[in-house]
Amino acid sequence: MPSDPERRQSAGFALIIVLWTLVLIAFIVAHLTGSGRVEIRIANNLVANAVAAAAADGAVSRTIFNLTDPNPESRWPLDGTAHAFKIGDCRLVVRVHDEVGEINPNLASPALLETLLRVTGSDPDSARRLARAIGEWVGAPGAARPQAALVEEYRGAGLDYAPPGEPLETLSELRRVLGITPQVFAAIRPHLSLFAPAEPSSVDADPVVKAVMAALGQANPPGNAAGRQGAIFIARIAVVSHGPDNARAARTVVVRVAPPSGSYTILAWNDDTG
């Protein structure tokens, strides 16, 4: 029969095992509780982002419906004015711009590109050089030098590529053109569109493009004024949606609209959610 000291030692050992078991159970419970809270937060964020994205899509549809209104007086102007409204728990801001009032680097003349670069801050020599580089990149008529010379020039600048001699697929591709720094790109980007005609033509052209046209001695033609009376026009719709729990979603959509028939064609659709 165990002595009293042996019984006390055995009881103490059992107590230690029980205490460590309780600590382990408490740790497991705390871990599961913490993981559950994290997963709940993640799920809530996913739901909030989905709500904001759905509201942004709804705002795009609402804007297109407005632009296809047969009554030109009922349509929003294509001048970048902010239109704020709510869809459910989301606050939305929509701006509509006239693409015809911007400059298309795939089609613009060297003089037009050079003037844009000068108006946005490049010195005359840099503007002339960069306009030529853009023309060579997109394969503008009369702009291309022999491919071997272009390859040598880009290699000399430490670049492992050369101008493709083809139209830009995205405006971001301009960043790859030799000499286009982030500062230059940021300055000209707001005034460019791959859906604009060779010559800007719009009463809603922004002040920079109007200054470019004035510097070239070209008056601002009526442009899209007629478009609002029934002709087809091209608009860029920029939507920002602020949803619950600080969720945010954005849409940039370029659409060709034919108001008389109410038909439209989506030309580009870019998402930004986060």
Write the DSSP string, 100-124.
GGSB-TTT--HHHHHHHHHHTT--H
pLDDT of residue 201: 73
Average pLDDT over residues 62-87: 91
Of the candidates 103, 121, 123, 101, the one whose C-alpha atom is nearest the C-alpha of residue 112 is 103
pTM of the model: 0.69
**How far are the Cα atoms of 78, 202, 255, 273 from residue 205, in angstroms, in the given order?**
9, 5, 17, 29
Average pLDDT over residues 151-174: 95
Find where tokens 């004035």 sit. 214
pLDDT of residue 16: 72
Exposure of 137 in the CB half-sphere (CA atoms within 13 A)? 25
Task: Identify the H or E element spanning 97.
Answer: strand 90-98
**How far are the Cα atoms of 7, 31, 133 from residue 155, in angstroms, in the given order?**
86, 56, 15
Mean pLDDT of the chain: 85
Judged on CB neighbours under 10 Å (0-12, 13-18, 19+), 35 is exposed
pLDDT single digits (tens) 101-115 = 899 999 999 999 999
**Distance from C-alpha of 153 to C-alpha of 81, rounded to nearest angstrom:** 44
Average pLDDT over residues 23-50: 73
93 pLDDT exceeds 60?
Answer: yes
| Pairwise pLDDT comparison (18 vs 214), residue with the higher score | 214
78 pLDDT exceeds 90?
Answer: no
Average pLDDT over residues 16-35: 69
Average pLDDT over residues 200-221: 80
| Paired residues of 91 in beta bridges | 86, 242
pLDDT of residue 34: 62
Amino acid found at 223: G
Give the pair of three-digit tokens for residue 187.
């300055």
> Three-class SS of residue 252?
strand
Confidence of residue 193 (pLDDT cuts 50, 70, 90): very high
31 pLDDT exceeds 90?
Answer: no
pLDDT of residue 224: 44
pLDDT of residue 245: 87
> Three-class SS of residue 1?
coil
Q: What is the CA radius of gyration of the chain?
A: 30
46 pLDDT exceeds 90?
Answer: no
Give the pair of three-digit tokens for residue 196.
């604009």
Domain boundaries in the chain? 1-104+193-274
**Distance from C-alpha of 267 to C-alpha of 117, rounded to nearest angstrom:** 27
User: Residues 213, 219: contact at Cβ < 8 Å?
Assistant: yes
159 pLDDT exceeds 70?
Answer: yes
**Distance from C-alpha of 127 to C-alpha of 113, rounded to nearest angstrom:** 8
Average pLDDT over residues 56-66: 95
Give the pair of three-digit tokens for residue 147.
């491919």
Average pLDDT over residues 40-67: 89
Main-chain dihedrals φ then ψ at residue 180, nearest 5 degrees: -80, 100
48 pLDDT exceeds 50?
Answer: yes
246 pLDDT exceeds 80?
Answer: yes
189 pLDDT exceeds 50?
Answer: yes
pLDDT of residue 206: 85
